[in-house]
Structure 1
């Protein structure tokens, strides 16, 4: 157990350094520069060099280094916590505070779905019309860019993950929420490692808009910080979509390839692939209803 905890500590330290320490240190450095220069001397690097030199020797350097490390740690912890809020928002229901956003996304999706249906009908009426095929393909992509299924969550990420659960339920009869903890225990180590890696990417992507807003907050005082702030906000949407999309595909693939193993471990005899009928029985067995 001691060896395990030691190795886990090493892994956590490495992940902290890779995922948080560097961006936190950069943010703190930018904040320090903002405070030192101020809005009146935003790009006066000669002044910055002069003021840095005054604390580069003697006890002042030690205190400055200690303060910088403490600020870096606090910034990393704060952004991690706020990134968790972003991740939690992905699973928020389409009711309560999320109702207006869900309603807006649903209206957009229904309009896009109607156009996609019309475009597909045009292809069915004239299968040789290449222009109609291209338009149908674009219409379907525009609809799926909003959501692969009719939206029922305030965020794209929430509906992307929900779409996986819906497809798994339809194709195998398994309830993903109930089955996943058991499935995780029978997954090969290589698969679990890949899933964990992608989960870390999702967490990193969730922190991107938080860093962007933090830089914008500094930019309200020192305008050069607006540049990285706006840049991070612009790339955050793409990062979140890409990482959540990969995670959703990986979860679905894990169920497709190893969902049958859960049924086997529970004693269900399968002569072939996992069917929805057997999957529903597995779900009922896992729920352990009284």
Structure 2
């Protein structure tokens, strides 16, 4: 998971001009409007027009444009850095500050798992009972909405990435962190492009709660900004789950389709499927561990 989070962090630090220029400019514009109108004239657009026209000509316009562009750059860089903090929080462990969040998620997961197990047993006891089968499916989905594996991270996103590591390890015997850089070198261009695109979506999703909090901060002074802040925070959870879920699926699919290519290039000459026994041998070779 650390390798994947590192890749996401790199995508946060690149291409920010295209990804953040527009939202950063919009945020700076909202701040300008908030300062120009103040809380007592929050929606007085006639007053806004009057104050804007005072700097629409002459040297004042040049200085205003320069300050606006500089502020946009600063905001974009700040949101980039804070988005990296959000991504780092996905992979935090259950120690220190993250411990109570992991404990809370673990309790919820255990309760949901007990209900899912009971529902599945009831469905298996009477296979002709469609209602029991439907209840079992819903119970399993509710458990997986918390985490597909026993929670070890304070966030769903972290555990979702860990679940890929767990599934790959159990299914193929590979260590995903060790395998991924080698796999990346053999992926075809189309697969690389797809993974990179989803990485950028994850980075964008990680910035959504940052924008939400930023607008809420402005909303303390100028209440219309609260609407944007609340909306961004509400959609951030869904955006993060969707992007990270697709990213995890793509990583696992890349292993399924191309791990044999790495093995063959290292001399294993596989003609069948990659078994856990072969995967463990391949991991030993990649980690340069002595036998």
TM-score normalised by the chain length of structure 2: 0.94
The structural deviation recorded for 1:27 is 0.1
Residue 26 of structure 1: SS of its match in structure 2? helix
**Alpha-carbon distance in 2 for matches of 1:207, 1:88:** 12
The structural deviation recorded for 1:178 is 0.6
**Alpha-carbon distance in 1 for matches of 2:92, 2:266:** 32
Q: State the partner residue of 2:67.
A: 67
Deviates more, 1:274-283 or 1:14-23: 14-23
Q: State the partner residue of 1:148.
A: 148
Q: State the partner residue of 2:105.
A: 105
Q: State the partner residue of 1:9.
A: none
Q: Deviations over 1:49-99 (max 9, x none)?
A: 000000000000000000000000000000000000001111111122111
Superposed, 1:218-257 pairs within 5 Å as 218-257=218-257
Structure 1 unaligned segments of length 5 or more: list them. 1-11
CA RMSD of the aligned region, Å? 1.2
**Alpha-carbon distance in 2 for matches of 1:255, 1:56:** 57
**Alpha-carbon distance in 1 for matches of 2:40, 2:269:** 75
**Alignment check: 8 A CA contact 2:16 2:80 kept:** no
* Number of positions where the alignment pairs a residue of Structure 1 with one of Structure 2: 278
The structural deviation recorded for 1:112 is 0.2
The structural deviation recorded for 1:177 is 0.5
**Alpha-carbon distance in 2 for matches of 1:105, 1:151:** 7
**Alpha-carbon distance in 2 for matches of 1:242, 1:80:** 20
**Alpha-carbon distance in 2 for matches of 1:75, 1:163:** 34
**Alignment check: 8 A CA contact 2:115 2:139 kept:** yes
**Alpha-carbon distance in 2 for matches of 1:49, 1:16:** 31
Q: State the partner residue of 2:160.
A: 160
**Alpha-carbon distance in 2 for matches of 1:151, 1:55:** 55
Q: State the partner residue of 1:198.
A: 198
Q: State the partner residue of 1:34.
A: 34
The structural deviation recorded for 1:169 is 0.5
Superposed, 1:167-186 pairs within 5 Å as 167-186=167-186
Q: Deviations over 1:1-48 (max 9, x none)?
A: xxxxxxxxxxx9x94343100000000000000000000110110000
Structure 2 unaligned segments of length 5 or more: list them. 1-11
**Alignment check: 8 A CA contact 2:34 2:222 kept:** yes
Q: Deviations over 1:87-137 (max 9, x none)?
A: 111111112211110011011001000000000000111111111111111
Superposed, 1:4-83 pairs within 5 Å as 15-83=15-83
